[in-house]
Structure 1
Amino acid sequence: MYDIFLWIITFVYVGIVFFISEKVFNSESVFSRKFLHIMMGNLIFIMPFYSSNLVMAIFVTLPIAIVLFLMTDYSPIQIMNSGTTRSGHNLGLFYYAFIWTILLIIFPNNLGIVALSIGAMSYGDGFASVIGGMYGKHIYNLTGDDKTLEGSVGMFCAIIVSSLVIVGFYLLVGASVPSFNVFSLVLIALIATFVESVSPKGLDNIMVPLSTGILYWILTVLL
């Protein structure tokens, strides 16, 4: 019953965020997409209260991934014409929910690793675009997608700050988090920022959280 209550709260939140992205903000704008990108990341603060990672994967992130795919041009059946989906890489938001599902399955007993990995994507990558769009003047292009130095610095800082907030919250509610030191956090933030800078458009939503999760697992579990 408690999972059902959380499920209702989760999808009410998702619906509100999507409504704001589509109707309140200009759904065709990059800002609208990044608003959705960042705000959806807040679901990591609901994760500790589900009975298991697999419950959230099967009943939350997987259904969201399926719906997002059905909203893309690649779907044989389009259920909704979304400006937010069209405003960036067509599969970008689908990749977002899909890799979240994969991480929950790969790390069923390491909820903190999943949260930190998703945080690197939602907050790090999200603020990289926002800061780069607002203040970016030094442009570079490594794989066919323009990035800015200011955006990359913003991503690095956002990962550091969000990781500390996530760890603090998870410890507060008694959830498991990987034990790491400042050196590990800085190293992971640097590598995640580099991965984002070399990922082709859209694929950063897969590569950033996947690489971050693997690094946390190596540094805090394997070693």
Structure 2
Amino acid sequence: MLTSFFDLESISPLWLQSAAVAIWVLLMLFAAWLVNRFANKDPEIVRKIVHIGTGNVILLAWWLDIPASVGITASIVASTITLLSYRFPILPGINSVGRKSFGTFFYAVSIGILIAWFWTQQQPQYAVLGVLVMTWGDGFAALIGQRFGQHKYRIFDRQKSWEGSLTMTVVSFVITSLILVSVQGNLWQSWLISLTVALVATCLEVFSFLGIDNLTVPLGSAALAFVLSQFLY
């Protein structure tokens, strides 16, 4: 298991572990500010930098074996800040005041739910899987779809692209298979579960609205991988 490979719990006190996570998040926010200030004024690019960058904090929490209480508390704080940011310009460039999406709020909530769910069961890999499918799959699907999506389709008055949806499927499959193979081994069950999760995650992303895919995709992906693993392994 990856935690045994890194095995940093015995040498890193809790405050140092938490500081490592906080520093990573601050670095991602600083990178987004730099891009917004000097390189690219597109708010969607800035949001995706934060979306993809901060989501990887779940890997640090896994490798450093940070307690569930710390992750849940951080999720509550982040959720509160993001809710306020929809009303006040607390996170300019990440949320727009009056923006018709609660994606950032759902993003923070989903991380807290997954940590509370799987950390307490000593199965953190499923929480990591769910968050990273959202982080990388959904993040790259949006970027690829907006820049290279030539073949459009509509779902519930929302325009999507086949290029973006295919990106979501491929990235979700890669993320899921890497995690399951690293934990469960290179077995046919790992690949079958990965393919199933990738397809379902893509459907959840396609049929979601108002940013709720940041809740349905991670929770659905993690829950499906967990249930299938219990049944197939």
**CA-based RMSD:** 2.4
| Cα distance between partner residues in 1 of 2:150 and 2:158 | 15
Which among 78, 82, 101 is matched to residue 92 of structure 2? 82
- Structure 1 unaligned residues grouped into runs of 5+: none
Aligned length: 212
Structure 1 stretches of 4+ moved >6 Å? none
Counterpart amino acid of residue 85 in structure 2:
M
| 2:52 paired residue number | 38
Answer whether contact 1:53 1:104 (CA < 8 A) is retained.
Answer: yes
| 2:72 paired residue number | 57
Question: Cα deviation per residue 1:67-108 (whole Å; 9 max; x = unaligned)?
Answer: 2222112xxxx3725122129654211110111101111222
Query: Taking structure 1 as the reference length, what is the TM-score of the superposition?
Result: 0.85
Question: Cα deviation per residue 1:182-203 (whole Å; 9 max; x = unaligned)?
Answer: 1111011001101100111311
Mapping for residues 166-205 of structure 1, pairs under 5 Å: 166-167=179-180, 171=183, 180-205=189-214
| Cα distance between partner residues in 2 of 1:137 and 1:68 | 33
| Cα distance between partner residues in 1 of 2:150 and 2:161 | 7
| Cα distance between partner residues in 2 of 1:138 and 1:201 | 23
Answer whether contact 1:22 1:82 (CA < 8 A) is retained.
Answer: no
Answer whether contact 1:131 1:154 (CA < 8 A) is retained.
Answer: yes
Structure with higher Rg: it is 2
| 2:30 paired residue number | 19
Secondary structure in 2 matching 1:202: coil
| Cα distance between partner residues in 2 of 1:27 and 1:95 | 24
**Is it true that 1:125 corresponds to 2:138 in the alignment?**
yes
Deviation at 1:28, TM superposition (A): 4.9
**Is it true that 1:143 corresponds to 2:160 in the alignment?**
no
Deviation at 1:7, TM superposition (A): 1.3
Query: Taking structure 2 as the reference length, what is the TM-score of the superposition?
Result: 0.81
